[in-house]
A and B are shown apart, each in its own frame.
Chain A
Amino acid sequence: DAKTTQPNSMESNEEEPVHLPCNHSTISGTDYIHWYRQLPSQGPEYVIHGLTSNVNNRMASLAIAEDRKSSTLILHRATLRDAAVYYCILRDYTGTASKLTFGTGTRLQVTL
């Protein structure tokens, strides 16, 4: 799996938007960009994924750069419940389902 680079930690105030960056300069044409998060003492949770176009769902938005070498996960209004480690992961879509390779992720702190 191609490598991703994320900041170790970020802070946000509650009710404000949060932009979590991810660099993946070696991404291949068949890699999807996936985001998962892990809340304290819980299993990881799927957030969103995309290939080329920006994506929105009820949890977040994913903005993908035109050259696909970077992406940004956007939480529109952070809450205390969004405090978690966020992982940006690349997965090849040409085969069948495959493993997730987790990096160190970004630890998001949300304060009042």
Chain B
Amino acid sequence: NAGVMQNPRHLVRRRGQEARLRCSPMKGHSHVYWYRQLPEEGLKFMVYLQKENIIDESGMPKERFSAEFPKEGPSILRIQQVVRGDSAAYFCASSLRYEQYFGPGTRLTVT
């Protein structure tokens, strides 16, 4: 049973470009969460989605960030017009109910 998959593992973008981060949850998991970890800081919740629905987006920045979890395919975290402050590790997690299983993360570097 494959774990949570994230791709790409490393992503480099210039300021102003768009970044798309993908997350494939564990088989059978219908809950997906995105977290961000800035350099030398703790993990911060961003958004919680179920299939085709955003359940909790209280941690999402108001502008430039969006997330989706379509009926088919992976969950996508999209960052438009990236800035240097967006450089961080972005982790996706999936769950059935209680335990969350995390992916290896995507490390975004904005130059």
Taking Cβ atoms with an 8 Å cutoff, the residues of A that contact B are 32, 34, 36, 38, 42-46, 49, 91, 93, 96-105
Contact = CB atoms under 8 A, between A and B. Distances in A.
A99 B43 contact: no
B45 A100 contact: yes
B95 interface: yes
Contacts of A43: 4, 91, 93, 102-105
B103 A99 contact: no
A98 B100 CA distance: 10
Nearest to A91: B98
A102 B98 contact: no
Across chains A and B, which 3 residue pairs bring their CB atoms closest together, nearest first?
A43-B102, A102-B43, A99-B45
A100 B59 CA distance: 11
Q: Is the interface of A mostly helix, strand, loop or mixed?
A: loop
Contact of A44 (B59, B95, B97, B102): B102
Given A97-B95, A100-B33, 14 more contacts: A32-B98, A34-B98, A44-B93, A45-B102, A46-B99, A49-B98, A93-B98, A97-B96, A99-B45, A99-B59, A100-B93, A102-B43, A102-B45, A104-B42
Given A44-B102, A49-B98, A98 B56 contact: yes
Nearest to B46: A99
A34 B102 CA distance: 15
B22 interface: no
Given A43-B91, A49-B98, A99 B104 contact: no
29 contacts: A32-B98, A34-B99, A36-B100, A38-B43, A42-B105, A43-B93, A43-B102, A43-B105, A44-B91, A44-B100, A44-B102, A46-B99, A49-B98, A91-B98, A96-B31, A97-B31, A97-B95, A97-B96, A97-B98, A97-B100, A99-B33, A99-B45, A99-B56, A99-B59, A100-B45, A101-B45, A102-B35, A102-B44, A103-B42
